[in-house]
Structure 1
Amino acid sequence: NPELKQEYFFKLIEEVGELSEVIRKNKRMKGNKIKGTIEEKLYDVLYYNSVLANAYDINLEECFYLKEELNRKKSK
């Protein structure tokens, strides 16, 4: 469903923007209070990244290893 993929992408971008804001303010988790923190927004970015990958039927683990190999070859 192209509309759903686009919605997931826009949510990912929204969460990256929110992450940028909490990083700028250096809002860190204290105790178990995660709301409005870098930790919460990092989770949200990872969540929507995974959801988007699933929508495109992409195996992120496989991509991770392939990209790591490319990076190793570049750095030689």
Structure 2
Amino acid sequence: MNDQVISLRSLQEYIKGTDYAPDQKLHYFYKLVEEIGELSEVIRKNRRIKDTGHIKGTIEEELYDVLYYIAALANVYDIDLEECFRLKEEINKAKWNK
């Protein structure tokens, strides 16, 4: 992936092309939980790229990792995140009158 704007679908396709093991569903889930814990830690420390000058150990890095494992999980369950987003937004609009 380069500096172009990407969609959830293209992100899923990219990750599926580099990391796809349908028999490892629990592995992807455990990695997601691990990354959420790491995100919690850097949020608590408020570590940001703009302050450190690099991505390592920042909120930005951990958000990427969480997004990565969400997409990887969606892939192994054959779930289209764009379709999920659209369907859930319909429910939210009706529920919250948005």
TM-score normalised to structure 1 length: 0.93
Aligned to 1:42: 63
Structure 2 residue 26 is the aligned partner of structure 1 residue 6: yes
Tell me which residue corresponds to 1:18: 38
* 1:32 to partner: Cα distance: 5.1
Q: Which has the higher contact order (CA 8 A, sep 6+)?
A: 2
Q: Which residue of 1 aligns with 2:91?
A: 70
Q: Could you tell me the TM-score, scaled by structure 2's length?
A: 0.73
Across the aligned residues of Structure 1 and Structure 2, the Cα RMSD in angstroms comes to: 1.3
May I ask how many residue pairs the two structures share in their alignment? 75
What secondary structure is seen at the aligned counterpart in 2 of 1:35?
coil
What is the percent sequence identity of the aligned residues? 67
Q: After the TM superposition, which segments of 4 or more aligned residues of structure 1 sit over 6 Å from their partners?
A: none
SS at match of 2:68: helix
**Aligned AA for 1:38?**
I
- Gaps of at least 5 residues in structure 2 are 1-21
Shift of residue 24, structure 1, vs aligned partner? 0.4
Give unmatched runs, 5+ long, in structure 1: none
Mean CA deviation greater in 31-40 or 8-17: 31-40
